[in-house]
Structure 1
Amino acid sequence: MKKLLFAICILFTFYGFSQSEGKRIDQFNLDRKVAIQGYDPVVYFKQGKALKGKKELTSIYEGVTYYFSSASNKSAFVKSPLSYEPQYGGWCAFAMGDSGEKVEVNPETFKIIDGKLYLFYNAFFRNTLKSWNKNQSDLILKADSNWKKIIQ
């Protein structure tokens, strides 16, 4: 009986993980399961800039693929992926806070706030980082709430 209960628990655990992974793939801003358009998420924190990663240096976290510009960045990510993943699944932080919409980003337009990476839309003479900076505190609260609704 204990073995049967253990087996059932294991099945539900894997089912929960696969649902979570599927939700991430469905809701995150990905191009062929690759996050941040192939930019290295660790570089934002270590060098304060955006830099493309290499396909040869890849890590997959809960179904989402990340590219890295160096082996040390990949290693840092593997040790603590949640420390480096962009907020709101890589969608525009301003749009998430302003309207709850998933809007594409320019990976080179970003901001690190309290150790978290926020990405922004920046094209066609519209840089949403400028609007974000005017009301950052309120937008973070709204964006956090809106993202929770999407990812549940």
Structure 2
Amino acid sequence: MLLAGFLATAGGDFADAASTTERIVINRFSGIAIEGFDPVAYFVEGRAETGLPQFEALEAGVVWRFRNEGNRASFLAHPEVYGPQFGGYDPTDVARGVAFAGNPRFWVIAGERLYLFGREASREAFAADPESFLKDAEARWPKLEQSLAQ
């Protein structure tokens, strides 16, 4: 099953606000993962939804936000399932050996996993053939991840 998310809101330049030296993409000003979007909502609501401060959780040294307690509990029970793959970095760039922060407004669920993309064109290319990108991304991610800060 393949679901694609679309740009929901206009805003500033996401790449400027996201850290590209962390193992999980966080906002360098707030310290919140994936700009505060609820990673579980992509699966249960089929769209990008902003999490709420009253439903925060600390996982892997990063603050995550959720829409409700149920989403929070699901994530904490299975962060490997609900968290964005490759730490939230764009898998098309990871496939090239580059860490480029994904934008939570550009997303795809493929193979029951969440992927975030830095550009709409990257999302579209990935959605057309996820397997070819994932083969290279999975091979390059361990070395790339080691080069990122703890």
Moved over 4 A (4+): none
> Structure 1 stretches of 5 or more lacking a match?
1-24
Q: Give the structure with the larger helix fraction.
A: 1
How many Å apart are 1:145 and its aligned residue? 1.4
Q: 1:111-133 CA distances to partner (integer Å, 9 max, x unpaired)?
A: 111111011122xxx52111223
Counterpart of 1:28 (choices 8, 12, 24) is 24
Cα distance in structure 1, aligned partners of 2:127 and 2:88: 18
TM-score, normalising length: structure 1: 0.75
Matching residue of 1:138: 132
Map of 2:67 onto structure 1: 69
Equivalences, count:
124
Q: Provide Cα deviations, 1:57-108, integer angstroms capped at 9, x if missing partner.
A: 10111201110011111111122111111011101111111x2111122212
CA–CA distance in structure 1, aligned partners of residues 70 and 112 of structure 2:
19
- Contact 1:27 1:150 (C-alpha < 8 Å) held by counterparts: no
Q: Which has the higher contact order (CA 8 A, sep 6+)?
A: 2
From 117, 127, 131, give the equivalent of 2:121: 127
Confirm or deny: 8 A CA contact 1:44 1:50 kept in the other structure: yes
Read off the aligned partner of 1:26 and give its amino acid letter. Answer: E
Rounded to whole Å, the distance in 1 between the matches of 2:121 and 2:103 is: 9
Q: CA deviation at 1:33?
A: 3.1
Alpha-carbon separation, structure 2, partners of 1:61 and 1:43: 17
Query: Is the contact between residue 35 and residue 64 of structure 1 (CA under 8 Å) also seen in structure 2?
Result: yes
Give the Cα–Cα distance (whole angstroms) in 1 for the partners of residues 81 and 127 of structure 2. Answer: 22
In structure 2, the gaps of 5 or more residues are 1-20
**C-alpha spacing 1:62/1:105, structure 2 compared with 1 (3 Å):** closer
RMSD over aligned Cα, in angstroms?
1.6
What pairs up with 1:4-43 in 2 under 5 angstroms? 26-31=22-27, 32-43=30-41
* % identity of equivalent residues: 27
Distance between the aligned counterparts of 2:145 and 2:100, measured in 1? Answer: 15
1:105 is aligned to 102
8 Å contact from structure 2 (residues 84, 116) kept in 1? yes
